[in-house]
Structure 1
């Protein structure tokens, strides 16, 4: 089962049903289809306001949220496209600060699907073509664009250097192995180096490529890609630096900033915020002040990433945390965040993901494990999470089964599960 939402709007649902019928021919790589589709739509990607283009395994969506918040605090209007959606497809296309409405979304998807009917585009190619078409039509000062998968062959990588203010690469880890680790002549064979090779494919001539710190093999791939593309590489620990404590002490060639910690919890979010700061500071298409950066730290919101649920119909009055992380990098982050605390884990994970990625880093913290289904998907049974994992029919049943012992609850393992939890608790992303 793939990533398709349901809509209360019949007009939108008709187009989502058409999207659901799309597939990618096995083994198809390249940007030819998305370019052909955009050409039929008048090449809207040539008419975008300055774009901030963000790749990475984990943290790219959060980095986009920080970029948007900081730019908006400067007074700019910002278009954003991110993926996947959690509850509604509309979340993928934000126009000048507001999610696209149903009436316009239905019209837009119909226009793009009609234009590309004989091209065989994928779900994501249609989505990006739709987003770029609307971004070119609706006035704004900036765009924030999240890479969907990889970077080199991602549909967003049609962006021209003239349109891009800065590119960024967030944390690197092993995920989507089937797509990103397929053997290819000329590509590195070591997994993390190959991941870096794919992500660094977004490098563009003359455009800042702002990156975090990575293992030597991965860093070498990014440096090579930047040199090949003639991009302006800016690496953490080489071209900019940050110290994370009670606040953030940031430094680069332009000077130093003393910033508050971001409102999003976790040291990993402080690092994502720092990447956003560095991207803004290394570009010259839009003016950004230290005050706007500092205010943006407290305004960024990114649902289902270490999000504490509000009291609601599902969470009740209990301390319940929600995270859609599902790979080893996400597991390590959760392990660090909950280190020294006992908690109850409710986990639902796609069959294609590794249960140990989440269970192992949290092992010393777990008071109980409840395994639940991921609605609409093939999922791991309880025994995949260890001998002590208990089966529960759903998240509500799992919560109801827990003792009233005052321990926090973490719901994790899948963004699809996280979206269902937000819907049930009445916290729809807006």
Structure 2
């Protein structure tokens, strides 16, 4: 177990937060102006796998990285948001056969200072500055490929200044961030499709909504993009405890991915297809090694050590997942239903959510599955829902719910309730920020 060290980079970013807004102001004008002052580092990147979608972006990034590194390639990765430390947004490619690692603090601090100096105090969001930092870091350190995850939307996201990605990967789309992206799934799909570039390869992952898939396909066709579509051009499903993947190159029998949940089968399939569409020659051994070695903190992550397990009965399962919209709630609930089939035990939820989310939509997926919900505030967030309001939302969704003071209080109560039962299964979720808080409390920081 580890604790976060004092970090110069965090201090530099705190200075920016005092000067600039932390949220989103979707536009490409400011980021382009800043990048121009930095001599356009986004034009000096290795081949880019650019990933958008409502759910599954992080898993797809993790699968792509694991497969590419297993093939011996040097891989940069940009994801957001972070769980505990800003450094998690920047995974730098390893050199001389070493795997990648989170950016060194001094390297990140220096890049942040240089970007802030180039910006010169001009109006901009912190996310835009940190995206410019991504391009600076990834252009200055050698790698064979860069995986870059969209922050919000696609068309006007700050990452969308990449002129010719090796592939644009669109993961599952559902309703989220409606205030920014629209209140219909086809409108959101159109925003996500904004990362497609004329003539560049596109991979469309599994889409539950026909309207989303049809919108994505239509835009890809208008852009003249070579396009492969899950369920039409490539497939991934479980069969006899194995993952069967198939595309135009043939059928491959693979181990199930290390990441938990049936939704990860399609996520893994999309990542495999994206790596191939980007032009990387990965053999089946690399794919197999990537699927079994992949790690992704805060997404169906089971804690097996740490302080948060102390209040729970011996043998309890403690899980984390930062999914926070109805689509995520559905796949998380399905994952726990599968666990329940294999090993029945009472499920308790500890949930905190931001006020921009749809709590009832999220909670509804757990009706008949979760025994009880304990709602909590999210530390250091002015945008979090009041636990009282959140508990009412859970009750409206058909669950038993109670507001409590914090994560530790919730686990203490679950430990007391479960004392005479089968050791419980507990999910802490509803927000990546809450999951980050849990990891920090537990002393198990992402690496």
Same fold (TM over 0.5): yes
**How many angstroms does 1:335 deviate by?**
1.8
Indicate whether 1:270 and 2:265 are aligned: yes
Structure 1 Cα separation of the partners of residues 285 and 186 of structure 2: 37
Are the equivalent residues in 1 in contact too, given 2:50–2:169 (CA < 8 A)? yes
Q: Which residue of 2 is the match for residue 19 of structure 1?
A: 17
Q: Which residue of 1 is the match for residue 330 of structure 2?
A: 332
The correspondence for 1:379, drawn from 382, 385, 394, is 385
Q: Which residue of 2 is the match for residue 82 of structure 1?
A: 79
Are the equivalent residues in 1 in contact too, given 2:324–2:429 (CA < 8 A)? yes
Q: Which residue of 2 is the match for residue 419 of structure 1?
A: 436
Q: Which residue of 2 is the match for residue 166 of structure 1?
A: 167
Are the equivalent residues in 2 in contact too, given 1:326–1:357 (CA < 8 A)? no
Q: Which residue of 1 is the match for residue 307 of structure 2?
A: 313
Structure 1 Cα separation of the partners of residues 211 and 64 of structure 2: 28
Structure 2 Cα separation of the partners of residues 150 and 198 of structure 1: 6
Structure 2 Cα separation of the partners of residues 93 and 16 of structure 1: 17
SS, match of residue 337 in structure 1:
helix
**How many angstroms does 1:321 deviate by?**
0.8
Q: Which residue of 1 is the match for residue 123 of structure 2?
A: 120
Closer, same or farther in 2 for the Cα pair 1:383/1:24, shift >3 Å? closer
**How many angstroms does 1:11 deviate by?**
5.5
RMSD of Structure 2 on Structure 1 (CA): 1.9
**How many angstroms does 1:52 deviate by?**
0.7
SS, match of residue 125 in structure 1:
helix
**How many angstroms does 1:129 deviate by?**
0.6
Matches within 5 A, 1:24-39: 29-39=26-36
Structure 2 Cα separation of the partners of residues 373 and 68 of structure 1: 34
**How many angstroms does 1:29 deviate by?**
4.1
Structure 2 Cα separation of the partners of residues 321 and 93 of structure 1: 25
Closer, same or farther in 2 for the Cα pair 1:119/1:224, shift >3 Å? farther
The correspondence for 1:202, drawn from 195, 202, 205, is 195
The correspondence for 2:70, drawn from 73, 78, 94, is 73
The correspondence for 1:401, drawn from 391, 403, 413, is 413
**How many angstroms does 1:353 deviate by?**
1.8
- TM-score where L is the length of structure 1: 0.92
Closer, same or farther in 2 for the Cα pair 1:63/1:351, shift >3 Å? same
Q: Which residue of 2 is the match for residue 280 of structure 1?
A: 275
**How many angstroms does 1:372 deviate by?**
1.1
1:310-332 deviation per Cα after TM superposition (whole angstroms, max 9, x unaligned): 22111235311111111000111
Which ranges of structure 2 fall in alignment gaps of 5 or more residues?
A: 94-99
Structure 1 Cα separation of the partners of residues 153 and 222 of structure 2: 18
Count the aligned residue pairs: 413
Are the equivalent residues in 2 in contact too, given 1:34–1:155 (CA < 8 A)? yes
Matches within 5 A, 1:75-224: 75-96=72-93, 97-161=100-164, 164-181=165-182, 191-214=184-207, 215-224=209-218
Q: Which residue of 1 is the match for residue 233 of structure 2?
A: 239
Indicate whether 1:368 and 2:377 are aligned: no
1:146-167 deviation per Cα after TM superposition (whole angstroms, max 9, x unaligned): 0110111111110011xx2211
Structure 1 Cα separation of the partners of residues 408 and 319 of structure 2: 14
Indicate whether 1:348 and 2:345 are aligned: no
The correspondence for 1:260, drawn from 255, 263, 272, is 255
Structure 1 Cα separation of the partners of residues 354 and 43 of structure 2: 38
Structure 2 Cα separation of the partners of residues 238 and 366 of structure 1: 35
- TM-score where L is the length of structure 2: 0.88
Q: Which residue of 2 is the match for residue 62 of structure 1?
A: 59
Which ranges of structure 1 fall in alignment gaps of 5 or more residues?
A: 1-5, 182-189
1:28-85 deviation per Cα after TM superposition (whole angstroms, max 9, x unaligned): 5431211111111111111111111110000011100000000000011110100000
